[in-house]
Structure 1
Amino acid sequence: MDKNQLGVQYMQEGNWEEAAKAFNDAIEENPKDPVAYINFGNVLSAVDDDEKAVKFYQKAIEIDEHAGAAYYSIGNVFFTQDRFTEAKKMFETAMKKGLESSDNFFMLGLTLVQLNQGKLALPYLQRSVELNEHDAEARFQYGLCLAQLELIDEAILQLEKCIELDPDHSDAFYNLGVSFAFKETSVKAIEMFNKALEIQPDHLLAGHAKKLIENNL
């Protein structure tokens, strides 16, 4: 097994120290391999050393300006720092460099939502779901975006698929409840709010929404 593969295995096990050693060895063996720098950056990011992580991603880009994964990783750092405009630019650049991954489309969509550009976000969230049909969180965010644009029937479809994939997704049940309430299907809405509260008894929004509907019945 090569050092990069070994490092990835250590990362999957949460063994950051050994992962860092493996990627460091990979860099020493082949200093012109951008993948090793990206992987080392991912370890640093995982242990919250974002500043150093970005330097490794930038080094990868210096070696290969078409290293889409490096732009994607910098975008993730910017997203967690609420630097959404810069994150958007990085995810878009990753896409232009040929990174056609569901994760990149998902993060670009999510970033556009944060920038209040739901209409622009929609096709990226849709593409993310098309590329990875089993990603419950992508389904949820896609459904949420559809609901915010008042495409309620389409939103319900995605939120229902989300709970098929993740039956404990309380926020999906809550938003299904809101969607059914919007369609004035009160019984179904209350059923969804109850389900959200069953999973998460302190779900304040679900509790409040349920009371509102019950008081108006």
Structure 2
Amino acid sequence: MDKTERAIELMKEQKYEEAAEIFNQVIEEDPEEPLGYINFGNLLLHINDLERAQRFFERAIELDEYAATAYYGLGNIYYEESLYPKAQENFQKAIEIGLLEADAYFMLGMTFYHQEHFKLALPYLQRATELDPKDEEVLFQYGLSLAQSDHLKDAKGVFENVLKLGAQHSDAHYNLGVIALYDEDLTQALEHFDAALEIQPEHTLAANGKKQIEALLNDL
């Protein structure tokens, strides 16, 4: 196990100071190698030291303008700071250079989602689901973007797949309840809102949806 591998193992064990010492040694031994700065930047990002992390990623890019994971790191920093257009720019750059991984497509899709460009988010979130079809969160966010883009039938199928991956996903039940309301299927909507509340009793939106349906049923 080389120094970098050892430092990454220490990060996984949450021994951040020890990992930082080793990453620092790696940089001192080869200051022109961008990977050392990227790894140190990732550590700093992990402990939420965003300002210093940014400097390390930018230094990596100075050394290698095609360091895709450095752009991905910068994208994560801007995303954490809610600077979604700048995050979008860096995630796009990372993908253009060749970081064709589910996380990169997912994060790019989420930058569009947070800017309420739901239709623009769709192809990237869809690609993320293709690359990592068993990730509940990726699939769920794709379903939300479909729903926000008025593709309710497709969204319903995605939310149902989320529940196949994890039956305890209260928000998937809630959104299926909302879609059932649009379809005027009050019984199914109530079932989904009840399921959401059983999983998460403090689910306010599901509780409001249930009250709304019960009021409608009482008026019938």
Q: So what's the TM-score if we normalise by structure 2? A: 0.94
- Deviations 1:5-49, CA, capped at 9 Å, x for gaps: 112212222221122122112212322222221111111111121
Q: Which amino acid is the alignment partner of residue 151 of structure 1?
A: H
Find the aligned partners of 2:152 and 2:107 in 1 and give their Cα distance.
Answer: 23
Partner of 2:180: 180
Q: Which amino acid is the alignment partner of residue 38 of structure 1?
A: I
Find the aligned partners of 1:162 and 1:32 in 2 and give their Cα distance.
Answer: 45
Find the aligned partners of 1:33 and 1:168 in 2 and give their Cα distance.
Answer: 45
After superposition, the CA RMSD in angstroms is: 1.2
Partner of 2:82: 82
Does residue 125 (structure 1) correspond to residue 125 (structure 2)? The answer is yes
Find the aligned partners of 2:76 and 2:93 in 1 and give their Cα distance.
Answer: 13
Q: Which amino acid is the alignment partner of residue 214 of structure 1?
A: E
**Offset, 1:167:** 2.5
- Deviations 1:125-161, CA, capped at 9 Å, x for gaps: 0000000111110000000000111111111111122
Find the aligned partners of 2:80 and 2:4 in 1 and give their Cα distance.
Answer: 25
Q: 1:14 to 1:165 in 2, by over 3 A?
A: farther
Find the aligned partners of 2:26 and 2:199 in 1 and give their Cα distance.
Answer: 45
Larger radius of gyration: 2
Structure 1 runs of 4+ off > 6 angstroms?
Answer: none
Does residue 151 (structure 1) correspond to residue 141 (structure 2)? The answer is no
Does residue 56 (structure 1) correspond to residue 56 (structure 2)? The answer is yes
Greater mean alpha carbon deviation, residues 159-168 or residues 48-57: 159-168
**Offset, 1:172:** 1.6
Partner of 2:134: 134
**Offset, 1:198:** 1.1
Find the aligned partners of 1:159 and 1:25 in 2 and give their Cα distance.
Answer: 47
**Offset, 1:162:** 1.5
Find the aligned partners of 2:190 and 2:33 in 1 and give their Cα distance.
Answer: 55
Q: Which amino acid is the alignment partner of residue 92 of structure 1?
A: Q
Find the aligned partners of 2:189 and 2:11 in 1 and give their Cα distance.
Answer: 42
Find the aligned partners of 2:62 and 2:212 in 1 and give their Cα distance.
Answer: 57
Greater mean alpha carbon deviation, residues 117-126 or residues 34-43: 34-43
Does residue 169 (structure 1) correspond to residue 181 (structure 2)? The answer is no
Partner of 2:198: 198
Question: What count of residue pairs does the alignment treat as equivalent?
Answer: 217
Gaps of 5+ in 1: none
Q: Which amino acid is the alignment partner of residue 9 of structure 1?
A: E
Find the aligned partners of 2:14 and 2:194 in 1 and give their Cα distance.
Answer: 36
Q: So what's the TM-score if we normalise by structure 1? A: 0.96
**Offset, 1:166:** 2.6
Q: Which amino acid is the alignment partner of residue 103 of structure 2?
A: D
Gaps of 5+ in 2: none
Percent of counterpart pairs with the same letter?
A: 46
Does residue 33 (structure 1) correspond to residue 33 (structure 2)? The answer is yes
Greater mean alpha carbon deviation, residues 177-186 or residues 202-211: 177-186
**Offset, 1:187:** 1.5
Find the aligned partners of 1:100 and 1:173 in 2 and give their Cα distance.
Answer: 31
